[in-house]
Structure 1
């Protein structure tokens, strides 16, 4: 058998296994087609092959043509003896994006900002609770607004800082500086 000599830009022969039809051919028989390129996908390799075909001409004639289609390998492909497939243009699966080690350890990032939930409205000192936007305790049914100056709001005696979402743990050191730290 001879080795097909094809430059890197040209196709190489490959056997395409056709669907089984016992009346017409044996299931392992196939058609020698031209292999144009290979591509790795999430589910395996696919090959772009050119199958021999015919095309009708406008003048009523018929001419030889090629029908190109992607087929699964190795289910529908068999190598032709003596053919070197190393020169076939190959598209490997791109590497998966690396996940940041910081994101792996800390998890999903919390939305930025703070939400002020009004607890009581009307006369008297306003009562409110400052929450993180993703806090499960802030009442979505009541009037809430994004807080543009969380430290100013947190200094108000009528405002509580939520301990569930970490608002109190994050803002208390900013409000009181280091005066809450004691030597033990």
Structure 2
């Protein structure tokens, strides 16, 4: 969901657009959009198009470009009135804890015979095998209970699954 501070009728303002091949042109800035990794600017570039018959008429080609890599402000131009589309503000949980990890666990099977031999990892763990099937909580707990299966402490699978396996009270009040 996005929120917008855009007026009903946007009025474009001039902006320098950096083109490939060390070229630049003055285009028109129509709007700005915040994205997760920065900003995109909707710019209109001057062009020509074929009109009726053999005529050629002025036109504008609109494109979204990255800022500041592809645009520069012009001296004396105010960009305060340009419509801006902001990302929805992250929740308090997201701000404090960061982005949510993908759900699920995977089993990295170890050599040898028998069920449950290996290590349970979080899906995004660097040690998790690529292409392994994702286990839901119940299946990950079943696999983790087998002798010979260990829980990865690097990715937090141990911290997430151990309390469920052994009970949440374990480790409190001086217990191990």
Q: Structure 2 length normalisation: TM-score?
A: 0.49
Q: Structure 1 length normalisation: TM-score?
A: 0.47
Q: Which is higher, the Rg of structure 1 or of structure 2?
A: 1
